[in-house]
Amino acid sequence: MIWRRSNRIELDPDKMGKEEIRQYNWYMFCLYNIIFVNDTAVGSFYELLAELDRHPYLMRGKVKFRARVLREHIKAYNRKNDRRALSGGEFIANINEEFEEMLEGDLERLYYTTLNYMHKIRIREPELQARMVLADTFAKGMVHNVEECVRKTRGDLDAIYLRSIRGLAEHDVSNACLQLVDEVEKVFRHDDKLPVLDGELSIYQGFQTIMNKLGDPDRILSVVEKCGGMQVNEKKDVPVGAEEVTNLNAERK
């Protein structure tokens, strides 16, 4: 069964029935999915900040302030990752590295698809605006992803699981990114606005391809098993080896 101590999720494999195993497996899928989406989104925020640094005329006033706020929230997010890595050992670092390698080509294609669209519509500072569009999209996507996990699992998972899933919502860093994008957009307001991409399906399709890979149970299981984080208990067929991640997740409250 699953028992509680100081709001931590603990496992007793010898007492877990089929329902507890099913809930645990679904919870772990949500956990990995959210962590991977969040890390990918924060990567797009890094790219936006790096591009902004190449435009010193923009890095002043409110834009400079919002960029500094975003950097601070990214540092706070990374500190959480460091604690997660310390709790999960090399396992957490390895699975993140596997997903980064898996998505590298998709992320590059998505950027150049977006950049080509910016050139097509002859927008000012196309490289920067491409990074703005991607950061804006991922910032909204990372919050929506947590909401979707909660929506799909509400009434189907133990309450402590749902609280833990909600705790993975990184509203501070996503909001900081959206506020930065908004301030940069104001600079362009008299010339260009952040473009509406309703007619550019290839950009949305590229983004959806990435989100689908990050949310594919088979792909997640394959990566986790490859990194040695999902072993099978001989007696009960209970996945073990990810308890560190589960326990650490409760620390985010």
Examine the pLDDT at 4 and tell me if it is beyond 50.
Answer: no
Examine the pLDDT at 29 and tell me if it is beyond 80.
Answer: yes
CA dist 143 to 18, 75, 93, Å? 31, 19, 23
Examine the pLDDT at 50 and tell me if it is beyond 50.
Answer: yes
Confidence of residue 217 (pLDDT cuts 50, 70, 90): confident
CA atoms of 178 and 181, how far apart (whole Å): 5
Q: What's the confidence (pLDDT) of residue 178?
A: 95
Between 73-77, 161-165, 197-201, 220-224, the lowest mean confidence (pLDDT) is in 197-201
Residue appearing with tokens 């606005």 = 193
- Please provide the average confidence, as pLDDT, over all residues in the chain: 77
Residue appearing with tokens 């500072």 = 125
Examine the pLDDT at 58 and tell me if it is beyond 60.
Answer: yes
Residue appearing with tokens 């097509």 = 120
User: What is the Rg, in whole angstroms, of the alpha carbon atoms belonging to the chain?
Assistant: 20
Examine the pLDDT at 191 and tell me if it is beyond 70.
Answer: no
CA atoms of 31 and 160, how far apart (whole Å): 13
Mean pLDDT of 114-139: 91
> Could you tell me the residue ranges of all domains in the chain?
2-250
Q: What's the confidence (pLDDT) of residue 3?
A: 34
Q: What's the confidence (pLDDT) of residue 174?
A: 95
CA dist 171 to 49, 52, 145, 175, Å? 18, 22, 12, 6
